[in-house]
Copies of this chain bind each other. A is one copy, B any other.
Amino acid sequence: MSMNSSESVEMYVKSVAELGGDRQPVPIGRVAERMDVTPVSANEMMKRLGSQGYIEHQMYKGVLLTRAGLTMANNIIRRQRLWECFLVDKLKLDWARSHELACDLEHATAEEVVEALVSYLGSPTHCPHGNPIPEADSQELLETGVLLSELATGHSGRILAIRPESHEVLAYLHHRMLLPGTEVTVVEAAPLQGPLTLHMNDQEVVLGLNLASLVLIEELCCP
């Protein structure tokens, strides 16, 4: 019962959570991609995480988070999003950069710092990218909205959140003003996984489908 979760272990558990490991088995190959390691390395680590009780490995299918794993993931995500709030709201740092800066800090943050940060920030509920901040030791991974990539042509919605994959993605979306709160309408969806054409802020914006799948939308029923 060692409470030794190294930075590496924490990053893997967070990755599994962000790949949906709380609901469906996540293929280890996906984890390897996300962590930028070889499948062999990811496999080794999954074995370790399994023996430490954070994941359950279904052969040839993927890994699922256990309760302990989900709790750990939520606590890491909690820390990260709180730091993002601090970096953006207080330090006025770049919205797109905040994600990776917070990722460095999240592993070095004691519980008492997290709780003090919560009060200091006024108990924020969402990070600057619109993602919900889990409660401490939460067992559920909150999901908001539908993917912009799955919004039907002609339909409208308001951007709720951006899944913060990388600095690159965030900077790109920030530059096109695809930010939480913005209203968008899908004008056209090109065939063969082609890009979406969106109407927003009285402008037309063309967005790749993979990028659109990182944008979470609250569909507006009466546009």
CA distance A101 to B110 in the complex (A): 7
CA distance A109 to B112 in the complex (A): 19
**A104 proximity list for chain B (CB < 8 A):** 108-110
Please state the number of chain copies in the assembly: 2
CB within 8 Å for A105 and B112 given contacts A90-B120, A91-B120, A120-B90:
no
**A110 proximity list for chain B (CB < 8 A):** 101, 104
Task: Describe A's contact surface by its main secondary structure.
Answer: helix
A152 touches B (CB below 8 Å): no
A177 touches B (CB below 8 Å): no
18 pairs of residues in contact across A and B, judged by CB atoms under 8 Å: A87-B113, A87-B116, A91-B113, A91-B116, A91-B119, A91-B120, A92-B116, A93-B112, A93-B113, A93-B116, A101-B112, A101-B113, A104-B108, A104-B110, A105-B105, A105-B108, A105-B113, A107-B108
